[in-house]
């Protein structure tokens, strides 16, 4: 069978698949997205994205890319209910128990529920005349010519019939459960090595109607662990005037889903702000759990051989602890890398593509996984660099409680505007040193020793 002309098949209609489809439509005559789920109206949850019930925020860099791909996106989604806010002036970042100094940054990010954000992107991508979706169809494997070159995908339709969809290019965006490593082995290629850090993360999320003024004018509060308490909490405004609270803990210290246990876990976070904000709030649902066993990174860029006609993108390549909320921005940056490659006429250059996206992934992977390795209970080797950075960061967080320039530098790195090395520039390192000589790490006001004690005793 000959290959169809100018046809690309994208496997998976979540963020990475949709954004890939958007850029592929600039070069290919037809883009077919194959998705296992029936695609619901914007704002509704779906089974294929179980993480869509938990807090999702979009960093400024991710928002900029969406704006570039869909001009007018920010204004339109904000008008539809998403919350646009300055990521430091209106968000309380509590890192290592220290509140980063809040100040205007000119960097707007978005808070909205994941089904809302994904639905907004989906509406725009599917409105493109070259893009169509096959819903309720599950990808069963790849089609290959001579066992070497990928020529399409084998798909089970809603009635359970197996068909082959031919394509010039197949892009796997099926998330962390991607079967490309297995399919490569079946085709006689080497599967990629996988880096894996067992974080054993458990999440629970509940929706609230807060008391007026409960957030004190802020749109989000993010409390990310201390060495004494590795728990995490994110309370964020979302569309419809509601707030989502996601709680998390690692290595078995998981937030319960019964309402009393959930509230007790919130009260035992490293800082008291979230517990105070939800006091007297009306819960709108019951807590929902999620488990994230390990951060995983498939090292496609290290393979010597890779079949023509196939690319892999998004969480299917790298899925890391979502505590810093970087995954959608990373997917958007990978889509930009793909766009650049296509513009250079090099779509069929998988090795170039994997090298380009490895450069995109390096920083967020180092940030997420390096921070995970700060916790002694997370297994894995600590390089000298990881040990140094993990000794430096609590001092930086402490100094950034008073130093707005350091707070901004930190947020730009987390938000993928700057590379982490910028936090180590001599001028900044000096400010950190001076800041930490002036005081012992400064805790967020209101953190009672009893709260820390409670957190420690309940951690397994
Ligand atoms: C709890 C949690 C919270 C997060 N919070 C944030 C945040 O605040 N900010 C942020 O930027 N990122 C966040 N992320 C990360 C972000 O959700 C992902 O990085 C992002 O969605 C990119 O995922 P993806 O599209 O690659 O894969 P996924 O979202 O996993 O989507 C995979 C898609 O493929 C489909 N699929 C799977 N198998 C098949 C098959 N065989 N056939 C057909 N279709 C198939 C699925 O149905 C699904 O639609 C969070 C992640 C988690 C787990």
Query: Are the C-beta atoms of 16 and 312 separated by less than 8 Å?
Result: no
Confidence band, pLDDT 50/70/90 cuts, at residue 458: very low
Residue range(s) defining the domain that contains residue 276: 82-106+200-293+381-460
Look at residues 329, 362, 395 and tell me which one is the last residue of a structural domain.
Answer: 362
pLDDT higher than 80, residue 110: yes
Residues 127 and 267 reside in one and the same domain: no
Look at residues 306, 327, 362 and tell me which one is the last residue of a structural domain.
Answer: 362
For residue 447, give the nearest of 273, 197, 236 by alpha carbon.
273
pLDDT higher than 50, residue 449: no
Percent of the chain past pLDDT 70, that is, above it, reads: 93
Q: Token pair for residue 320?
A: 């890391």
Confidence band, pLDDT 50/70/90 cuts, at residue 87: very high
Residues 442 and 398 reside in one and the same domain: yes
Residue 173 CA, ligand 1 centroid: distance in Å: 9
Residues 161 and 206 reside in one and the same domain: no
Residue 441 CA, ligand 1 centroid: distance in Å: 36
Residues 385 and 450 reside in one and the same domain: yes
**158 vs 142, higher pLDDT:** 142
The four Cα atoms 358, 125, 77, 238 give a dihedral, to 10 degrees, of -60
Helices (H), 150-200: 180-186
Mean confidence (pLDDT) of the chain: 91
Residue 107 CA, ligand 1 centroid: distance in Å: 25
Note if the pTM is more than 0.95.
Answer: no
Confidence band, pLDDT 50/70/90 cuts, at residue 445: very low
Give residue 432's pLDDT. 86
Residue 447 CA, ligand 1 centroid: distance in Å: 34
Q: How far apart are CA 69 and CA 402, in angstroms?
A: 37
Q: How far apart are CA 8 and CA 453, in angstroms?
A: 56
Give residue 227's pLDDT. 73
| Mean pLDDT within 312-335 | 96
SS (H, E, C) 246-294: EEEECCCCCCCCCHHHHHHHHHCCCCCHHHHHHCCCEECCCCEEEEECC
Of 51, 288, 323, 357, best ligand 1 pocket probe by most atoms within 8 Å of the beta carbon: 51
Give residue 348's pLDDT. 66
Give residue 190's pLDDT. 96
Residues 334 and 434 reside in one and the same domain: no
Is there a domain that residue 28 lies in?
yes
Of 142, 163, 175, best ligand 1 pocket probe by most atoms within 8 Å of the beta carbon: 175
Express each pLDDT in 21-56 by its tens digit: 999 999 999 999 999 999 999 999 999 999 999 999
Residue 328 CA, ligand 1 centroid: distance in Å: 8
Query: Are the C-beta atoms of 184 and 35 separated by less than 8 Å?
Result: no
The structural domain count of the chain equals: 2
Among 194-198, 211-215, 429-433, name the one with the lowest average pLDDT: 429-433
Give residue 225's pLDDT. 81
- Nearest atom in ligand 1 to the alpha carbon of residue 326 is 11
Give residue 136's pLDDT. 96
pLDDT higher than 50, residue 91: yes
Nearest Cα residue to atom 2 of ligand 1:
51
Nearest Cα residue to atom 49 of ligand 1:
14
Express each pLDDT in 204-238 by its tens digit: 999 999 999 999 999 999 999 877 788 999 999 99
CATH of the domain at 421: 3.30.9
Which residues form ligand 1's pocket by a CB distance below 6 Å?
11-17, 34-37, 48-49, 51, 54-58, 138-139, 173-175, 177, 203, 290, 292, 314-316, 322, 325-329, 331
Is there a domain that residue 245 lies in?
yes
Cα 87 from chain centroid (whole Å): 16
Residue 327 CA, ligand 1 centroid: distance in Å: 8
Is there a domain that residue 284 lies in?
yes
Q: How far apart are CA 270 and CA 232, in angstroms?
A: 8
Percentages of the chain per state (helix, strand, coil), in multiples of 5: 40, 25, 40
Is there a domain that residue 371 lies in?
no
| Mean pLDDT within 180-204 | 96
Nearest Cα residue to atom 4 of ligand 1:
322
Is there a domain that residue 300 lies in?
yes
Is there a domain that residue 233 lies in?
yes
pLDDT higher than 80, residue 254: yes
Which of 221-225, 248-252, 312-316, 451-455 has the highest mean predicted lDDT (pLDDT)? 312-316
Nearest Cα residue to atom 46 of ligand 1:
48
Residues 216 and 358 reside in one and the same domain: no
Q: How far apart are CA 152 and CA 169, in angstroms?
A: 7
Residue 325 CA, ligand 1 centroid: distance in Å: 12
Q: How far apart are CA 198 and CA 377, in angstroms?
A: 10
Residues 163 and 52 reside in one and the same domain: yes
Q: In Å, how far are 10, 100, 238, 332 from 94, measured between CA atoms?
A: 39, 6, 20, 26
Residue 155 CA, ligand 1 centroid: distance in Å: 20
pLDDT higher than 50, residue 4: no
Q: Computed from CA positions of residues 202, 262, 273, 61, in that sequence, does the dihedral angle turn out positive or negative?
A: positive
Helices (H), 25-100: 60-69, 73-79
CATH of the domain at 51: 3.50.50.60
Residues 245 and 336 reside in one and the same domain: no
Confidence band, pLDDT 50/70/90 cuts, at residue 439: low
Give residue 443's pLDDT. 53
| Mean pLDDT within 366-372 | 89
Express each pLDDT in 395-412 by its tens digit: 999 999 999 999 999 999
Among 9-23, 137-151, 297-311, name the one with the lowest average pLDDT: 137-151
Give residue 347's pLDDT. 67
| Mean pLDDT within 235-256 | 96
| Mean pLDDT within 63-76 | 98
Q: In Å, how far are 59, 99, 228, 273 from 445, measured between CA atoms?
A: 27, 9, 17, 9
Nearest Cα residue to atom 30 of ligand 1:
175
Cα 456 from chain centroid (whole Å): 28
- Nearest atom in ligand 1 to the alpha carbon of residue 328 is 11
């Amino acid at each position: 069978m000959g290959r169809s002309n100018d046809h690309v098949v994208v496997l998976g209609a979540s963020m990475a698949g949709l954004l890939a489809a958007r850029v592929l439509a600039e070069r290919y005559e037809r883009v077919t997205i194959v998705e296992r789920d029936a695609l619901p109206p914007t704002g509704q949850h779906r089974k294929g994205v179980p993480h869509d019930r938990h807090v999702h925020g979009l960093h400024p860099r991710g928002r900029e890319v969406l704006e570039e791909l869909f001009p007018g996106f920010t204004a339109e989604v904000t008008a539809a209910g998403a919350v646009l806010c300055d990521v430091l002036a209106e968000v309380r970042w509590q890192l290592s128990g220290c509140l980063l100094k809040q100040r205007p940054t000119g960097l707007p990010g978005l808070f909205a529920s994941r089904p809302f954000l994904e639905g907004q992107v989906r509406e725009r991508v599917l409105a493109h005349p070259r893009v169509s979706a096959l819903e309720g169809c599950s990808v069963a494997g790849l089609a290959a010519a001579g066992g070497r070159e990928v020529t399409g995908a084998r798909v089970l339709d809603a009635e359970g019939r197996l068909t082959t969809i031919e394509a010039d290019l197949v892009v796997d965006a099926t998330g962390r459960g991607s079967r490309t490593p297995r399919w490569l082995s079946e085709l006689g290629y080497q599967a990629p090595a996988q880096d894996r850090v067992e974080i054993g993360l458990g999440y629970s999320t509940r929706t609230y109607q807060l008391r007026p003024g409960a957030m004190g004018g802020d749109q989000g509060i993010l409390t990310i662990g201390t060495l004494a308490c590795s728990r995490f909490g994110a309370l964020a405004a979302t569309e419809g005037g509601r707030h989502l609270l996601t709680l998390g803990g690692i290595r078995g210290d998981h937030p319960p889903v019964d309402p009393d246990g959930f509230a007790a876990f919130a009260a035992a976070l490293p800082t008291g702000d979230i517990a105070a904000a939800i006091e007297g709030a009306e819960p709108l649902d019951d807590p929902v759990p999620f488990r994230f066993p390990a951060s995983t990174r498939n090292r496609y860029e290290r393979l010597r051989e890779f079949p023509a006609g196939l690319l892999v993108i998004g969480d299917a390549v790298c899925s890391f602890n979502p505590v810093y909320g970087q995954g959608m921005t990373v997917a958007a940056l990978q889509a930009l890398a793909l766009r650049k490659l296509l513009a250079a006429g090099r779509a069929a250059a998988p090795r170039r593509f994997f090298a380009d996206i490895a450069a995109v992934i390096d920083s967020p992977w180092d940030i997420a996984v390096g921070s995970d390795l700060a916790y002694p209970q997370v297994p894995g080797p600590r390089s000298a660099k990881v040990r140094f950075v993990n000794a430096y960061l609590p001092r930086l967080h402490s100094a950034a409680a008073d130093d707005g320039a350091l707070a901004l530098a930190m947020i730009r790195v987390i938000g993928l505007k700057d590379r982490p090395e910028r936090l180590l520039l001599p001028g900044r390192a000096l400010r950190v040193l001076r800041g930490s000589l002036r005081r012992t790490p400064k805790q967020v006001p209101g953190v009672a020793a009893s709260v820390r004690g409670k957190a420690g005793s309940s951690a397994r």
